[in-house]
Structure 1
Amino acid sequence: MENTKNPIVSIIITTYKRSDMLKRAIDSVLNQSYKKIEVIVVDDNEPSTQYRKETELILADYASNPKIKYIRHPKNMNGAAARNTGIRNSKGNYICFLDDDDWYLSDKVKEQVMYLLDNKKFDGVYCGWNRNNKEVIPTKEGDLTFGLLSGTHLVLTNTIMIKREAAILCGGWDERFQRNQEAAFLLRFFNHGYRLGVVKKVLVQFDTRDRSNVADPKENEENFNFYLKIHEKQIEACDKVYKNGKKIIYSYRYRGVLLNYIKCKEYLAAFRFYLRVIKFIPLRFNIDLLIYITKKIKDCTVRL
């Protein structure tokens, strides 16, 4: 039963190979202005690694803190599995997620709790963030399925707060995904009829220095093929609501894949990928690509 006046919030921090950044994330949660919280740290490092040893040493400093629960995975299982472990072991009315290299601003939890208490039509809420000294303040709310499928709208893991009941009933995080995990989770959330509100403030800070987990272009292509295949039914549903919705989703996503090949200077692979894509969405893909390139040229000209 939800405590409507002072709900418990469970913050799930997953950690893997970034023990050097973990303390900052934990402290950002403990220093929240909203105090009725529990912190669940899920250690997804392999037990025999130095990362596990370092993480255990860090958590030993918090052993006397009753708000912190430390759970060790028996093996590396991936971020989605770690978040599901956190959900299963949580007791909060609401759940938040935090990666080990990022941190919350002090009023993040309070602002989102107040929002959900005041806006009963929503089962979750997200907020703005700062990444690479660029603030992003989102405004969209409700069912964001089309934006997530097409990539035209972002909802990042660390910005989310949702009702624990909703997280469980929608099936939790899809552990088949190595990438696009938050989008896959939220697509389950929306598919169950839940809606997301928004706090139009920057409440999360991202640290992008560690790029060791970035997928190579071929892997990126495979990940998006999998992402689109798993969500075919929702793509078809979007096509009935949005004009050319299906073509837009595939065109935008594959444009990103193509540009990633080019960014990594894999030009032959990029050309081969381009030929594959234009076999089934030739006109739409070329138009979207031309619009994107034109905009980039215009932006560069303005800056000059």
Structure 2
Amino acid sequence: MSVVKPRASVIIPVYNGGRFLGEAIASVLAQTYTDWELIVVDDGSTEAIEPVIAPYGSRLRYIRQENQGVAVARNRGLEVARGEFIAFLDQDDWFEPDKFEVQVAALQESPHLGLVHSGWFVVDAAGERLSTVNPREGIPELDLAAWLLWKPVFLGAMLFRRSCFEGVGGFDAAFEQAPDVDLVLRLALTGYESAWVPQMTVHYRQHEENASRAAQRQVHECERVLDRIFHQPQYAAEIGHLEFQARYNNLVWGAWRLYRVGQLAAMREFLLRSLQYRSQSKTEVILNWIHCFERYEREYGIELNIQYLMKALNWQDLMI
């Protein structure tokens, strides 16, 4: 007797953070599209996760492994997932109820697509909305150049076709903070096509325990991702002309991430390094830095504190 497989699989990697996990799970259970399975992979939590998931019984599959990092946890979920479509949800975020309905339909209507993407809502620890991030407005086409230059990667807003992982493998465990960026850029470089859906599909929660707050490691790993890509000679003719802009964008974004967590000396070093990838005057580049910082801050519902930035000694050193 054949086993009926679910059409979509949701993988939630968990490491502690049980206070938000129930809300993440509930958002999957509330989907208007119902042909899915839910896999929770506990990456060696030191908190008790079982009591959080116990009330859901057979509505999810729970796997526990020794702590090996989020990339390995996601790969473990992929190993047991049975769906044609794959979604990832972090333990502190939650889906909009129509995420699957919208994104499964998009992949079914466009068989050439490997993945679909969307914008997202940024919320605070209590779940109150701070802002709406809609990268589609500035990046209407998700082609290879867009992925390399801007890296608009947020796994929770994406839905993948299983064939993507069969084509390039899973997440690279060498990356602790940027395995998602590495994976999506490898997919784009291999030729998997992607497109936007207009709806927002996920809520991205900001709180004091976010893994993405490990800013130094995150920005250095994004540099390593670009190093790996641009050091491959077989792609030089196709993407070589994008390298300077991609590296500049990454350094300025990294500088902003470091500014956001108060690491102003490291911010200064990243901005200084970005100068080598621009041909404009220093004044023009500095104005561009400010513009970029303002845009990144707005995405999180924050107004850039220009006075604080201008008074910082590490910023003033850049003006010399």
Superposition TM-score tier, normalisation by shorter sequence = 0.7 to 0.9
Confirm or deny: 8 A CA contact 1:129 1:202 kept in the other structure. Answer: yes
Match of 2:62 in 1: 70
CA distance in 1, matches of 2:76, 2:258: 35
Match of 1:246 in 2: 243
How do residues 185-224 of structure 1 correspond to structure 2 at under 5 angstroms?
185-215=183-213, 218-224=216-222
Residue 133 (structure 2) aligned to one of 118, 131, 136: 136
Q: Which amino acid in the other structure matches residue 14 of structure 2?
A: T
Q: Which amino acid in the other structure matches residue 75 of structure 2?
A: N
- Specify whether residues 235 and 112 from structure 1 end up closer, same or farther in structure 2 by C-alpha distance, changes over 3 A only: farther
Identity of aligned residues (%): 25
Is residue 2:118 matched to residue 1:127? yes
After TM superposition, the score normalised by the length of structure 1 is: 0.81
Could you say what secondary structure the match of 1:229 adopts? helix
CA distance in 2, matches of 1:234, 1:141: 27
Q: Which amino acid in the other structure matches residue 245 of structure 1?
A: L
- Specify whether residues 270 and 162 from structure 1 end up closer, same or farther in structure 2 by C-alpha distance, changes over 3 A only: closer
Could you say what secondary structure the match of 1:293 adopts? helix
Q: Which amino acid in the other structure matches residue 182 of structure 1?
A: D
How do residues 11-30 of structure 1 correspond to structure 2 at under 5 angstroms?
11-30=10-29
Q: Which amino acid in the other structure matches residue 111 of structure 2?
A: K
Shift of 1:218: 4.1
CA distance in 2, matches of 1:120, 1:141: 20
Shift of 1:263: 4.5
Could you say what secondary structure the match of 2:225 adopts? helix
Could you say what secondary structure the match of 2:116 adopts? strand
Is residue 2:115 matched to residue 1:116? no
After TM superposition, the score normalised by the length of structure 2 is: 0.77
Shift of 1:41: 0.5
The alignment's C-alpha RMSD in Å is 3.2
Q: Which amino acid in the other structure matches residue 44 of structure 1?
A: D
CA distance in 2, matches of 1:137, 1:216: 24
Is residue 2:141 matched to residue 1:148? no
Match of 1:227 in 2: 225
Shift of 1:157: 0.6
More helix by percentage: 2
Give the gaps of 5 or more residues in structure 1: 1-5
Could you say what secondary structure the match of 1:99 adopts? coil
Residue 56 (structure 1) aligned to one of 50, 65, 76: 50
Shift of 1:40: 0.5
- Specify whether residues 201 and 30 from structure 1 end up closer, same or farther in structure 2 by C-alpha distance, changes over 3 A only: same
Residue 289 (structure 2) aligned to one of 281, 284, 292: 292
- Specify whether residues 216 and 168 from structure 1 end up closer, same or farther in structure 2 by C-alpha distance, changes over 3 A only: same
CA distance in 1, matches of 2:94, 2:10: 12
CA distance in 2, matches of 1:285, 1:168: 46
Shift of 1:261: 4.2
- Specify whether residues 167 and 273 from structure 1 end up closer, same or farther in structure 2 by C-alpha distance, changes over 3 A only: closer
Q: Deviations over 1:127-150 (max 9, x none)?
A: 221113322334357654333333
Residue 83 (structure 1) aligned to one of 74, 83, 100: 74
Confirm or deny: 8 A CA contact 1:239 1:245 kept in the other structure. Answer: no
Q: Deviations over 1:226-262 (max 9, x none)?
A: 22222224799477458x5211111111122334444
Confirm or deny: 8 A CA contact 1:7 1:94 kept in the other structure. Answer: no
Could you say what secondary structure the match of 1:252 adopts? helix
Could you say what secondary structure the match of 2:103 adopts? helix
Is residue 2:11 matched to residue 1:8? no
Which segment drifts farther, 85-94 or 174-183? 174-183
Q: Which amino acid in the other structure matches residue 60 of structure 1?
A: A
CA distance in 2, matches of 1:35, 1:23: 18
Shift of 1:94: 0.8
Shift of 1:206: 1.6
Match of 1:97 in 2: 88
- Specify whether residues 32 and 212 from structure 1 end up closer, same or farther in structure 2 by C-alpha distance, changes over 3 A only: closer
CA distance in 2, matches of 1:146, 1:207: 28
Confirm or deny: 8 A CA contact 2:85 2:162 kept in the other structure. Answer: yes
